[in-house]
A and B are shown apart, each in its own frame.
Chain A
């Protein structure tokens, strides 16, 4: 039997088309704001997150799960039992909007730099990264990410909205109107513009998955360093 790729492609289209930012839909930031407003009208608590997600790994998935759980805990209150919080985190009552670095933003921030593992970056195109993310689930039953938007250079066509092109991903994603933005750190420009209670700062290394072969916590940069080991010896 021949592999009928049309079947799997139908799955991709069904799962991703409406949940991934499309440059043809107008101002990227405005589309994201409309999406968040729509969820608010439905009574959802909206969590925002941002990142590169280049070569999706376990700690990416753990971090996104964590963002949803934090959102659920904010909504319910920490006194609720964990299973209730997890159930809520994997329901329509919690919505996660993710702003994905454009290729140009990653190239600018990480390419051939130690922080990016020393390799040319990104490893994968924006559309591939977005599609892979859109196919992930929380608790195996709900979309992990409800909408994927973008930020950085070339994140919008013919647009002067600074939140579209601002290089600070937190500054950008917070402008969506989400109830809570889960971040690794807050820049000065973001602190100055938004109230501090909009943010929940996490230490991404806290509780991260460690890989014994990688001999490190799993991250794209660590993975790249392992691949390049022999390259560096040459």
Chain B
């Protein structure tokens, strides 16, 4: 069997769930139309954002929970930070393990997220999109920022972690948003590991890799 067919089959079940905006094409309107179709069909739109650099079990548990928050008809949209945004916000930060960031490209991170399933019965993430000022061309676009995407598509539920204070403040400051904002306490993501100091996180894994703790 030709090995390239394995890769093709592996990617075939993505079914267009990764939206690949780039400098020549912005897909924000396609995302908005898809959200409206789902809403008209009675689905509950849940939106969250994150980096997902080194995908961990607590990332997975978090996404499970966000989907559950939307109920049986939940559609989960995940916006993943662009490489440039991760680099500018997280590289060489002491609390993030003081290392190069991202470890993996947006393409790899988004594929890993999109491949996850919900209870091994259906897809976990219905759409993966991207945010960061390098996502689209120079024109001001909702893709520039995760809060802007959330405001643009007006999901029923926006999930943020308690460590994203700036995001929370900006969402709460917008009186027009019809979205319910749910703040998750990161400490409640409970899976811990013998070798990781505290709960499992990308930063915890990085610290173990670098310092052996």
Binding site for B on A (CB under 8 A): 1-5, 7-9, 11-12, 14-15, 55-58, 61-62, 65-66, 69-70, 73, 78, 82, 86, 103, 117, 119-120, 122-125, 127-128, 131-132, 135-137, 139-144, 206-207, 209, 211-214, 218, 223-224, 226-231
Do residues B108 and A58 form an inter-chain contact, with CB atoms below 8 A? yes
Nearest Cβ distance between residue A118 and chain B, in whole angstroms?
9
Interface flag for B55 (CB, 8 Å): yes
Q: Given known contacts A2-B188, A78-B1, is B119 in contact with A15 (CB within 8 Å)?
A: yes
Do residues B107 and A212 form an inter-chain contact, with CB atoms below 8 A? yes
Binding site for A on B (CB under 8 A): 1, 3-10, 12-13, 54-57, 60-61, 64-65, 68-69, 83, 92, 97-100, 102-105, 107-108, 111-112, 115-117, 119-123, 182, 184-185, 188-191, 193-196, 200, 205-206, 208-210, 212
- Please name all residues of chain A whose beta carbon is closer than 8 Å to the beta carbon of B182 when the two chains form the complex: 1
Q: Given known contacts A141-B120, A207-B3, A223-B103, is B209 in contact with A119 (CB within 8 Å)?
A: yes
Q: Which of A12, A62, A214 meets B7, CB within 8 Å?
A: A62
Chain B residue at smallest Cβ distance from A78: B1
Q: Given known contacts A2-B188, A207-B3, A227-B210, is B9 in contact with A82 (CB within 8 Å)?
A: yes
- Please name all residues of chain B whose beta carbon is closer than 8 Å to the beta carbon of A1 when the two chains form the complex: 69, 182
Chain A residue at smallest Cβ distance from B121: A141
- Please name all residues of chain A whose beta carbon is closer than 8 Å to the beta carbon of B97 when the two chains form the complex: 227
CA distance A86 to B56 in the complex (A): 27
Q: Which of B3, B111, B123, B190 meets A5, CB within 8 Å?
A: B190
CA distance A2 to B190 in the complex (A): 13
Q: Given known contacts A62-B6, A128-B200, A207-B4, is B208 in contact with A120 (CB within 8 Å)?
A: yes
Q: Which of B104, B123, B196 meets A211, CB within 8 Å?
A: B104
Q: Given known contacts A58-B112, A65-B6, A218-B108, is B64 in contact with A124 (CB within 8 Å)?
A: no
Q: Which of B100, B117, B185, B196 meets A3, CB within 8 Å?
A: B185
- Please name all residues of chain B whose beta carbon is closer than 8 Å to the beta carbon of A141 when the two chains form the complex: 117, 120-122
- Please name all residues of chain A whose beta carbon is closer than 8 Å to the beta carbon of B5 when the two chains form the complex: 82
Do residues A227 and B6 form an inter-chain contact, with CB atoms below 8 A? no
Q: Given known contacts A141-B121, A227-B99, is B107 in contact with A5 (CB within 8 Å)?
A: no
Q: Which of A4, A58, A86, A214 meets B9, CB within 8 Å?
A: A86
Q: Which of B68, B103, B194, B195 meets A7, CB within 8 Å?
A: B68
- Please name all residues of chain B whose beta carbon is closer than 8 Å to the beta carbon of A5 when the two chains form the complex: 61, 65, 188-190
Nearest Cβ distance between residue B112 and chain A, in whole angstroms?
6
- Please name all residues of chain A whose beta carbon is closer than 8 Å to the beta carbon of B195 when the two chains form the complex: 122-125
Nearest Cβ distance between residue A102 and chain B, in whole angstroms?
12
- Please name all residues of chain B whose beta carbon is closer than 8 Å to the beta carbon of A57 when the two chains form the complex: 55, 112
CA distance A3 to B184 in the complex (A): 6
Nearest Cβ distance between residue B15 and chain A, in whole angstroms?
9
CA distance A132 to B193 in the complex (A): 12
Chain A residue at smallest Cβ distance from B192: A128
Nearest Cβ distance between residue B210 and chain A, in whole angstroms?
5
10 extra A-B contacts, CB within 8 A, seeds A5-B190, A12-B191 = A1-B182, A15-B119, A61-B112, A125-B193, A136-B116, A137-B116, A207-B3, A211-B108, A224-B209, A228-B209
CA distance A11 to B62 in the complex (A): 12
CA distance A143 to B118 in the complex (A): 11
Nearest Cβ distance between residue A17 and chain B, in whole angstroms?
14
- Please name all residues of chain A whose beta carbon is closer than 8 Å to the beta carbon of B7 when the two chains form the complex: 62, 207, 209
Q: Which of A14, A56, A70, A119 meets B55, CB within 8 Å?
A: A56
Chain B residue at smallest Cβ distance from A12: B61
Q: Given known contacts A65-B10, A214-B104, is B1 in contact with A136 (CB within 8 Å)?
A: no
- Please name all residues of chain A whose beta carbon is closer than 8 Å to the beta carbon of B116 when the two chains form the complex: 135-137
Do residues A61 and B120 form an inter-chain contact, with CB atoms below 8 A? no
Nearest Cβ distance between residue A73 and chain B, in whole angstroms?
6
- Please name all residues of chain B whose beta carbon is closer than 8 Å to the beta carbon of A58 when the two chains form the complex: 108, 111-112, 115
- Please name all residues of chain A whose beta carbon is closer than 8 Å to the beta carbon of B104 when the two chains form the complex: 211, 213-214, 218, 223
